[in-house]
Amino acid sequence: MKYFQLVETIKYLQTFNKINSIYRTDLNTLKIEFDQNNHIYFYMKRGESIIYKKDGDLRQNQLNRPFDIQLSNRFNRSKIEKIELINNDRIIRIYVQLANRYKIIKSAIQFEFTGKYTNIILLDSDETIIEALNYVSEYQSIRSVKIGEKLENPPHRNVQFQNIESIEDIEQFLKENFINLLKINLKKEQDKSYKFINEKKKKLEKHLAEFESREVVSARADQFQKLGEIILANFYNIAEYSEYININDFNGNLISFKRPNEAKDNSHMAKIFFNNARKLRKKSENLLIEINSINRKIEFFEQLSIAVQNSKSVEEISILMGRESEKNRDSIQQDESIEIFWIEGYKIMIGQSERGNISLLERSKGNDWWLHLKDRPSAHMIIVTDRREIESNILFESSKLLAKLSLSKINNNSGDKFIVDATRRKFVKVQNGANVLYTNYKTFIIDI
């Protein structure tokens, strides 16, 4: 941001008295809820830092790194003492105090909009660094940023900031900042997601193309079975240790085949052929299951691509694509008929087949939430609550996720309206398989 824009933004921030809540919505974005229900976002990516306002809020998951813990402990529900620019530079510092049972804790949070060294730094009352978004060593800059050290001001620049302009409507300016940032970042995230999805699809399609057809596998099984039967029928006519065997089949036709190297005698040779036939028949049976599983994965990635296309924010894409980065895989994640997403720390599970839907109904608990498109075919969705109370925005965003992932099954056009019903799992009565009746539900109307 330009210097004059920060000057005008400071005037706006100085109208607030409290920080009700503060947290990162992603690695580079920090959200502050000030008093009067004002939500301000600080996007602190190096070289692209900006302050903006927007409606609504969405996180894929809560961040619990040391920076986030200190942020919560020292700034949530704090009183603002003052807000100022530091060193006549593009640096904002917010001083706060937090009263607990025994004492008043004073802290400061510093936002540095300084290009290469863009940063957020948390300070205690004597300006010692508690935590920082980015650490800076003495080898990177003449001014280091390390925990436990006193924070020095950046070298004073002999720059005279000119063209100090006033901004008539600061709130509109901050909202426009978000719109401009969204256009740039949304396109980047969509392109990155499309690339990832297409790579996944290509691997699956290549794997699918490498499969033998069921007919070929069955024919090979029949051939091994027939050889085993011919050997038994001509057991005493076959030389015990001949490498190549020439013999008539049941139609009187002469056939020739090589004795398996591992065969110890004629009886063992027949057993080897029968075992090969049995394995191939089993493979033929499993082949259809595996092919259907791969086709289901390909279909899911096609749905995911359409959902990314219809996403209206980077946060929505983060939720859609975050499924691949989740490291804590559990037994449910191993079930390929279920996909898992995360919203605000809540696990969201979606069935990808009738088997997956049935599995969700069986594994979910009474206080979990169950979601489904109203009067339209869709996957079942379960929000795992772990007995926590769930806020309406989580239900709404989960409904939006379900609608977007159902879009390709119904039509490929955005602009459609979806109605999603949500109720506690204990109010869902299974009739047959994945067919259910439900009561005590909330309804959400979703525009895609």
* 343: CB partners within 8 A, 6+ apart: 58, 59, 60, 61, 319, 394, 397, 398, 401
Query: Is residue 272 located within the same domain as residue 334?
Result: no
Q: Does any domain span residue 177?
A: no
Q: What is the CA radius of gyration of the chain?
A: 32
Q: Are strands 346-351 and 338-343 parallel, antiparallel or unpaired?
A: antiparallel
Tally of CA atoms within 13 A in the half-sphere of 94 that contains its CB? 27
SS3 383: strand
State the burial class of residue 163 (Cβ atoms within 10 Å of its Cβ: 0-12, 13-18, 19+): exposed
**In contact, 367 and 387? CB cutoff 8 Å:** yes
Q: Does any domain span residue 235?
A: yes
Query: Is residue 8 located within the same domain as residue 133?
Result: yes
Query: Is residue 32 located within the same domain as residue 153?
Result: yes
**In contact, 276 and 268? CB cutoff 8 Å:** no
* 79: CB partners within 8 A, 6+ apart: 17, 18, 96, 97, 98, 99
Q: Does any domain span residue 318?
A: no
Q: Does any domain span residue 182?
A: no
Give the separation between CA 293 and CA 334, rounded to whole angstroms.
Answer: 13
Query: Is residue 79 located within the same domain as residue 150?
Result: yes
Query: Is residue 52 located within the same domain as residue 161?
Result: yes
**In contact, 70 and 109? CB cutoff 8 Å:** no
Q: Does any domain span residue 11?
A: yes
Which range marks the domain in which residue 111 is found? 3-167
Query: Is residue 437 located within the same domain as residue 337?
Result: yes
Q: Does any domain span residue 397?
A: yes
Q: How many separate domains does the chain show? A: 3
Residue in the structure block whose two tokens are 């950046």: 154
> What is the CB neighbour count within 10 angstroms for residue 398?
26
Give the separation between CA 356 and CA 208, rounded to whole angstroms.
Answer: 22
pLDDT one digit per residue (tens) for the chain, 448 residues: 888 999 999 999 999 999 999 999 888 999 999 998 899 999 999 888 999 998 766 665 678 899 999 999 999 999 999 999 998 889 999 999 998 878 899 999 999 998 888 999 999 999 999 999 999 988 888 889 999 999 988 776 665 655 567 898 999 999 999 999 888 889 999 999 999 999 999 999 998 887 777 788 888 899 999 999 999 998 888 888 788 888 888 888 999 999 998 988 889 999 999 999 999 988 888 887 888 888 888 989 998 999 999 888 888 898 888 754 444 444 444 567 899 999 888 999 999 888 899 999 999 999 999 999 998 888 999 999 998 888 888 999 999 999 988 876 555 555 678 999 999 999 999 999 889 999 999 999 998 7
Q: Does any domain span residue 175?
A: no
Residue in the structure block whose two tokens are 């772990």: 386
Task: State the first-to-last Cα distance of the chain, in angstroms, to the nearest integer.
Answer: 33
**In contact, 333 and 339? CB cutoff 8 Å:** no
User: What is the CATH number for 130?
Assistant: 2.30.310.10
SS3 251: coil
Query: Is residue 225 located within the same domain as residue 287?
Result: yes
SS3 261: coil
Q: Does any domain span residue 79?
A: yes
Query: Is residue 196 located within the same domain as residue 249?
Result: yes
Query: Is residue 250 located within the same domain as residue 299?
Result: yes
Dihedral sign from CA coordinates of 65, 67, 70, 75? negative
Query: Is residue 161 located within the same domain as residue 225?
Result: no
Cα distances from 108 to residues 121, 129, 400, in angstroms, run: 8, 10, 38
> What is the CB neighbour count within 10 angstroms for residue 429?
9
Token reading at 290: 């595996």
Query: Is residue 402 located within the same domain as residue 431?
Result: yes
Q: What is the pTM of this model?
A: 0.60
> What is the CB neighbour count within 10 angstroms for residue 375?
7
Q: Which of 308, 340, 364 is where one domain is finished?
A: 308
Q: Are strands 442-447 and 428-432 parallel, antiparallel or unpaired?
A: unpaired
Query: Is residue 300 located within the same domain as residue 347?
Result: no
